[in-house]
Amino acid sequence: MSDTYAKLHADCAARGTRLFTVTVQDEAAGLARRSYTSHAVEYPVSGTKPLTRDGWYDQCIGGRQVFVANTVPEFAKYFFDHALITSLGLGSCINIPIFQADGPVYGTVNLLAEAGHFTPEKLAAYAALIARDHAALVAEMAQI
Backbone angles phi, psi at 17, to 5 degrees: -65, 130
Q: Which domain holds residue 75?
A: 3-142
Q: Pairing mode, if any, of strands 105-113 and 19-26?
A: antiparallel
| Residues 93 and 110: beta-carbon distance below 8 Å | yes
pLDDT per residue as tens digits for the range 15-49:
999 999 999 999 899 999 999 999 999 999 988 98
| Residues 43 and 37: beta-carbon distance below 8 Å | yes
Cα distance between residue 139 and residue 141, in whole Å: 6
120 burial via Cβ count (<10 Å: 0-12, 13-18, 19+): exposed
pLDDT of 46: 84
pLDDT of 144: 62
| Residues 72 and 91: beta-carbon distance below 8 Å | yes
Walk across the sheet containing 31-37 and list its strands: 48-50, 31-37, 19-26, 105-113, 92-99, 67-69
State the amino acid at position 55 in one-letter form. G
In eight-state DSSP terms, residue 138 is H
pLDDT per residue as tens digits for the range 92-132:
999 999 999 888 999 999 999 999 999 999 999 999 999 99
In eight-state DSSP terms, residue 29 is T
Q: What is the pTM assigned to this prediction?
A: 0.95
CATH of residue 31's domain is 3.30.450.40
Number of structural domains (the chain) is 1
